[in-house]
Amino acid sequence: MTAQTEITHKKTTRRTFTLTSLGCPKNRVDSENILHHMTQGGFTFTDDTSVAEIIIVNTCAFIRPAVEEAIAVILELRQTSPSALIVAAGCLPLRYKEELAVSLTEVDLFVTPSQIQILPALLNQHLSKKGFADDRMNFSTVKSGRVITTPGYAYLKIADGCARSCRYCTIPQIRGPLRSTAIQDLVHEASFLADRGVKELILVAQDTTSYGRDLGTKNALVKLLSALENISGIEWIRLMYLHPAGIPKGLRKLINESRKILPYLDIPFQHISEKVLRAMGRPWKGDYIRKLVKSLRDEIPGLVLRTSVMVGFPQETDQDFNELLDFLREYQIERVGVFQYCPEDGTPAFVLGDPIPARIKKQRANEIKKLNTKLTAKRNRSRIGAIEKAFIEGISEESELLLQGRTWDQAPEVDGVLYVTEGTLETGRIQPVRITYAHGQDLFGTLEIA
Ligand code: SF4
Domains of the chain listed by start with CATH number: 16-124 (3.40.50.12160), 153-381 (3.80.30.20), 387-447 (2.40.50.140)
292-329 residue pLDDT tens: 999 999 999 999 999 999 999 999 999 999 999 999 99
**Which atom of ligand 1 is found nearest the CA of 241?**
2
Q: Taking the model in full, what pTM does it have?
A: 0.92
- Ligand 1 site residues (CB inside 6 A) read 162, 164-166, 169, 171-172, 206-207, 243
| 207, 209, 213, 241: residue to mutate for ligand 1 pocket, most atoms within 8 A of CB | 207
Q: What is the pLDDT of residues 415-424, one digit of tens each?
A: 999 999 877 6
Out of 91, 162, 247, mutate this one to test ligand 1's pocket (max ligand atoms within 8 Å of CB): namely: 162
**Residue 248 Cα, ligand 1 centroid: separation in angstroms?**
17
**Which pLDDT does position 143 carry in this prediction?**
65
CA nearest 255: which of 246, 265, 245?
265
- Residue 337 is classified by DSSP as E
Query: Which DSSP state fits 270?
Result: B
Q: What is the pLDDT along the chain (450 residues), one digit of tens a residue?
A: 333 333 344 444 568 999 999 999 999 999 999 999 999 999 999 999 999 999 999 999 999 999 999 999 999 999 999 999 999 999 999 999 889 889 999 999 999 999 999 999 999 888 787 655 454 444 555 667 899 999 999 999 999 999 999 999 999 999 999 999 999 999 999 999 999 999 999 999 999 999 999 999 999 999 999 999 999 999 999 999 999 999 998 999 999 999 999 999 999 999 999 999 999 999 777 689 999 999 999 999 999 999 999 999 999 999 999 999 999 999 999 999 999 999 999 999 999 999 999 999 999 999 999 999 999 999 999 999 999 999 988 888 888 888 899 999 999 999 999 999 877 667 778 899 999 999 989 999 998 765
Amino acid at 37: H
User: Contact 116/147 with Cβ under 8 angstroms?
Assistant: no
CB atoms within 10 A of CB 174: 23
pLDDT of residue 422: 75
Residue having the nearest C-alpha atom to atom 3 of ligand 1: 206
Centre of ligand 1 from the C-alpha of residue 196, in Å: 32
C-alpha 128/C-alpha 108 separation (Å) is 13
Q: Residue 341, CB half-sphere, CA atoms under 13 Å: how many?
A: 29
Sequence-distant (≥ 6) Cβ neighbours of residue 6 within 8 angstroms:
none
pLDDT given for residue 12 in this prediction: 45
Q: How far is the CA of 47 from the centre of ligand 1 (A)?
A: 33
